[in-house]
């Protein structure tokens, strides 16, 4: 029996709550996407409210079809069970970010990273530094709103092209977001397909490294055409001095990052690696006398609170961490996974997958399907979390049936989900970045090379593995 026949047979053998026709499943999925698009983009509602409203509509649809609420509730609960591990991970991420801030690890990495800035190789410097800082912060939008804004000002001093600078900032910020163990999207991608976080990050190197190298070559080329030795570096020097004035910058503060990398190489579980790293960071914070130990409880719950007398950009950059900062992500994961479980239980997604099962007979075709779905959700709904969660839940059984490793699925979710969002003018990231950098998405899009190179490379590499 062929693989395609196995897929069809397994789909038909599933005990779904409803068996819709292909036309009915297409209509329901189309209305679902249209509603999410309108509520999230058109009205500006928070994604949580949009998803909750769509879930309400799906529950009504199920009741019209004669399905009891109890059965649908059980289906949503069963779907949530697959994401329980991620909930613990999110909590420890909040604690880790706080510990890296109070120990000076993140401020130190930012300070030493800015020392790499070069007027002669401005664009590639911006790309690499924002990438490094993005990994340390685990947030592309925070990187853009703080260091990115600073680099736009420095670019003016260096007489750099604003749209190329913005493209380099976006490329670096989303390189960091994609590869950081502190990133929400990285954690969600690994948790959705149920693989180890560090295995996921390691596997992403297969597409990230080629994209990074190509970006460096391209940005070096652009820098050569913008060679300018007469640049006022006062702004970057002011920024560095402001970091030093916090008294959080010290070489020893970088040790937690070194430990985190070592534990990842040793394949220590993500949660334990975060616990060990957090403990080291707290010890360093106490050893250097940066903070009052009595404040740690508040910091770990509500996040680090910088000194109000610091540079405003630094206050905005370093006001992060804490369990509370994870609540937004936790709730959207819970709602989106529940909605996905409901779509599966009502037979909508399985019926659509059944129609393309014969075509999904290789890794390349499966990867193309995942990538196009992730890109499509980003374009239609403008939400990167949903692009990862919906695509991951939809194609996870397909990868299993084709005997493909799930780590390739999680990698594609990042390559075509996370990094595509800033290229969509009406997306959450696109609107935010355009506002912060004062450069439209359409203008910086051609120069955000990392974002679309990631998609292209992930479509090429699987067929050769």
As a whole number of angstroms, the distance between CA 313 and CA 136 comes to 17
Mean pLDDT computed over 207-223:
91
- pTM listed for this prediction: 0.69
Report yes or no: 19 and 66 within 8 Å, Cβ to Cβ.
no
Tell me whether residue 208 is in a domain: yes
Tell me whether residue 435 is in a domain: no
Last residue of some domain: 300, 326, 352? 326
Nearest to 132 by CA among 110, 165, 107: 110
Nearest to 133 by CA among 183, 199, 184: 183
Q: In this predicted structure, what is the pLDDT of residue 11?
A: 43
Q: What is the C-alpha radius of gyration for the chain, rounded to an integer number of angstroms? A: 23
Instruction: Assess whether 127 and 271 both reside in one domain.
Output: yes
Mean pLDDT computed over 453-465:
75
The number of residues making up the chain comes to: 465
Highest-pLDDT range among 28-37, 56-65, 241-250, 412-421 = 56-65
Instruction: Assess whether 289 and 171 both reside in one domain.
Output: yes
Mean pLDDT computed over 235-264:
84
Q: How far apart are the first and last CA of the chain?
A: 25
- What pLDDT digit, counting tens, does each position of 347-402 carry? 887 787 677 766 766 777 888 888 888 888 777 666 777 788 878 877 888 888 78
Instruction: Assess whether 160 and 220 both reside in one domain.
Output: yes
Q: How many CB atoms lie within 10 A of CB 70?
A: 8
Lookup: tokens for 385: 């979390």
Residue 293: partners with Cβ closer than 8 Å, 6 or more residues away: 286
- What pLDDT digit, counting tens, does each position of 313-353 carry? 788 778 878 888 778 777 877 887 788 788 888 988 778 76
Instruction: Assess whether 151 and 183 both reside in one domain.
Output: yes
Highest-pLDDT range among 105-109, 139-143, 202-206 = 202-206
The CA distances from residue 275 to 89, 97, 258, in Å, are: 10, 11, 14
Q: In this predicted structure, what is the pLDDT of residue 82?
A: 60
- Average per-residue pLDDT for the chain: 81
Instruction: Answer with the residue of higher pLDDT: 138 or 24.
Output: 24
Instruction: Assess whether 362 and 450 both reside in one domain.
Output: yes
Tell me whether residue 433 is in a domain: no
Range of the domain at 351: 3-84+327-416+444-464
Instruction: Answer with the residue of higher pLDDT: 154 or 190.
Output: 190
Lookup: tokens for 230: 């007469």
**Quick one: pLDDT band at residue 12, thresholds 50, 70, 90?**
very low
String of DSSP letters for 303-367: -----TTS-HHHHHHH---SGGGGHHHHHHHHHHHHHHHHHHHTTHHHHHHHHHTTT--SHHHHH
Report yes or no: 72 and 17 within 8 Å, Cβ to Cβ.
yes
Instruction: Assess whether 212 and 319 both reside in one domain.
Output: yes
Longest CA span, the chain:
74
Nearest to 177 by CA among 195, 189, 194, 165: 189
The CA distances from residue 250 to 69, 243, 280, 317, 346, in Å, are: 57, 11, 15, 18, 56
Instruction: Answer with the residue of higher pLDDT: 106 or 229.
Output: 106
Instruction: Assess whether 224 and 366 both reside in one domain.
Output: no
Last residue of some domain: 326, 351, 367? 326
Instruction: Assess whether 316 and 394 both reside in one domain.
Output: no
- What pLDDT digit, counting tens, does each position of 118-131 carry? 667 889 988 998 89
Whether the pLDDT of residue 32 is over 90: the answer is: no
As a whole number of angstroms, the distance between CA 431 and CA 437 comes to 10
3-state secondary structure 141-191: HHHHHHHHHHHHHHHHHCCCCHHHHHHHHHHHHHHHHHHCCCCHHHHHHHH
Report yes or no: 94 and 330 within 8 Å, Cβ to Cβ.
no
Q: Look at the chain and report how many structural domains it folds into.
A: 2
Q: In this predicted structure, what is the pLDDT of residue 234?
A: 67
DSSP summary character for residue 464: G
Mean pLDDT computed over 232-237:
65
Highest-pLDDT range among 67-76, 218-227, 263-272, 380-389 = 67-76
Percentage of the chain modeled with pLDDT above 70: 86
As a whole number of angstroms, the distance between CA 328 and CA 322 comes to 12
Instruction: Assess whether 91 and 240 both reside in one domain.
Output: yes
Report yes or no: 206 and 461 within 8 Å, Cβ to Cβ.
yes
Tell me whether residue 301 is in a domain: yes
Last residue of some domain: 293, 326, 359? 326
Whether the pLDDT of residue 263 is over 70: the answer is: yes
User: Quick check: helix, strand or coil at residue 66?
Assistant: coil
Instruction: Assess whether 293 and 386 both reside in one domain.
Output: no
Strand (E) or helix (H) holding 251: none
Instruction: Assess whether 229 and 297 both reside in one domain.
Output: yes
DSSP summary character for residue 447: G
Instruction: Assess whether 90 and 130 both reside in one domain.
Output: yes
């Amino acid at each position: 029996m062929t693989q395609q026949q196995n897929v069809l047979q397994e789909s038909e053998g599933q005990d779904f709550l409803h068996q819709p026709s292909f036309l009915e499943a297409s209509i329901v999925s189309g209305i679902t996407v249209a509603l999410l698009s309108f509520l999230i983009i058109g009205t500006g509602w928070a994604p949580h409210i949009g998803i909750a409203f769509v879930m309400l509509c799906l529950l009504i649809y199920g009741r019209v079809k004669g399905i009891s609420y109890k059965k649908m509730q059980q289906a949503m609960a069963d779907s949530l069970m697959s994401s329980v591990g991620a909930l613990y991970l999110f909590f420890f991420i909040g604690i880790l970010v706080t510990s890296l801030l109070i120990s000076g690890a993140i401020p130190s990495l930012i300070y030493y990273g800015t020392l790499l800035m070069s007027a002669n190789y401005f664009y590639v410097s911006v790309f690499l530094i924002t990438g490094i800082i993005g990994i340390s912060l685990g947030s592309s939008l925070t990187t853009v709103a703080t260091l990115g804004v600073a680099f736009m000002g420095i670019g003016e001093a260096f007489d750099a092209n604003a749209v190329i600078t913005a493209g380099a900032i976006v490329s670096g910020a989303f390189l960091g977001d994609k590869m950081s163990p502190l990133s929400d999207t990285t954690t969600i991608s690994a948790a959705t397909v149920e693989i180890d976080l560090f295995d996921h990050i390691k596997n992403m190197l297969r597409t990230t490294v080629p994209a990074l190298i190509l970006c460096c070559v391209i940005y070096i080329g652009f820098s050569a055409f913008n060679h300018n030795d007469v640049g006022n570096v006062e702004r970057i020097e002011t920024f560095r001095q402001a970091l030093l004035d916090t008294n959080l910058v010290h070489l020893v503060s970088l040790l937690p990052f070194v430990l985190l990398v070592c534990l990842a190489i040793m394949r220590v579980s993500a949660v334990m690696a975060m616990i060990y790293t957090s403990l080291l960071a707290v010890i360093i914070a106490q050893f250097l006398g940066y903070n009052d130990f009595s404040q740690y409880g508040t910091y770990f719950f509500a996040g680090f609170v910088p000194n109000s007398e610091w540079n405003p950009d630094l206050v905005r950059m370093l006001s992060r961490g804490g369990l509370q900062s994870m609540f937004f992500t936790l709730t959207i994961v819970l709602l989106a996974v529940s909605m996905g479980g409901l779509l599966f239980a009502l037979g909508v997604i399985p019926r659509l997958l059944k129609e393309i099962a014969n075509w999904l007979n290789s890794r390349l075709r499966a990867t193309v399907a995942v990538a196009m779905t992730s890109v499509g959700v980003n374009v239609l709904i403008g939400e990167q979390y949903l692009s990862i969660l919906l695509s991951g839940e939809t194609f996870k059984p397909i990868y299993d049936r084709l005997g493909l490793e799930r780590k390739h699925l999680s990698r594609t979710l990042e390559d075509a989900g996370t990094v595509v969002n800033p290229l969509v003018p009406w997306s959450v990231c696109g609107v935010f970045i355009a506002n912060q950098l004062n450069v439209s998405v359409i203008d910086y899009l051609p120069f955000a090379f990392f974002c679309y190179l990631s998609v292209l490379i992930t479509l090429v590499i699987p067929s050769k593995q």
